[in-house]
Chain A
Amino acid sequence: QKEVEQNSGPLSVPEGAIASLNCTYSDRGSQSFFWYRQYSGKSPELIMFIYSNGDKEDGRFTAQLNKASQYVSLLIRDSQPSDSATYLCAVQGSGNTGKLIFGQGTTLQVKP
């Protein structure tokens, strides 16, 4: 079992729709969860982070965390073609090194 799992996609949504990106993790003691956006040929850019169960909203983005189910998601409302990118889920485990474990990423395509 992979430590952090994401569906590689591509996930295709029409412009203006809600895009839902999902991530599951195996370390039940994980404390911190991050979403990064990576455009082709570019470096990862932090979108959101969440530490507590529930929802966290920032503009068009909402991160959702359910520690009991070991599940974290990212919702993008009113999707735009500029949101087309690969979205990386990263989880900081329960160890004492601060190590981040990344999923392989989900490619999102927003079609005009």
Chain B
Amino acid sequence: ETGVTQTPRHLVMGMTNKKSLKCEQHLGHNAMYWYKQSAKKPLELMFVYNFKEQTENNSVPSRFSPECPNSSHLFLHLHTLQPEDSALYLCASSQGRFNQPQHFGDGTRLSIL
């Protein structure tokens, strides 16, 4: 059982659709992260939030829009995605940003038609 829950687990969408990914952590952590994992590439950090404030945007295209309403919830809003955006999107959380292990959710497998 994971303390970080992601929904949906799988998502298929067209390039003109708008959808959102949701992440919820039950660990009492204050930092949350979005990562992208593509085939045969290292995990790639997208966004970092610390106490609801965004502290890192790793040059992510604007078609990905994060939202963090509180320390337990994180969303990734998607619109006008491209086929190369098909990947596993992972949410993680940690107690703090520094010297703390990050715990991952099960991910959302996203396929863009």
Contact = CB atoms under 8 A, between A and B. Distances in A.
Is the A/B pair a real complex? Answer: yes
A45 B1 CA distance: 11
Interface in B13-59: 31, 33, 40-45, 48, 50, 55-56, 58
Interface string B86-113: 0000100010111111111111000000
B90 A4 contact: no
A17 interface: no
A92 interface: yes
Interface of A is mostly: strand
A81 B48 CA distance: 35
Given A43-B90, A43-B106, A98-B31, A88 B43 contact: yes
A32 B99 CA distance: 5
B43 A44 contact: yes
Contact of A99 (B2, B42, B56, B101): B56
A99 B55 CA distance: 10
Interface string A31-44: 11010100000111
Contacts of B41: 104
Given A102-B42, A104-B42, A97 B107 contact: no
Contacts of B96: 98
A34 B43 CA distance: 13
A51 B45 contact: no
A28 to B, nearest CB: 17
Interface of A: 4, 31-32, 34, 36, 42-46, 49, 51, 88, 90, 92, 97-105
Interface of B: 2, 31, 33, 40-45, 48, 50, 55-56, 58, 90, 94, 96-107
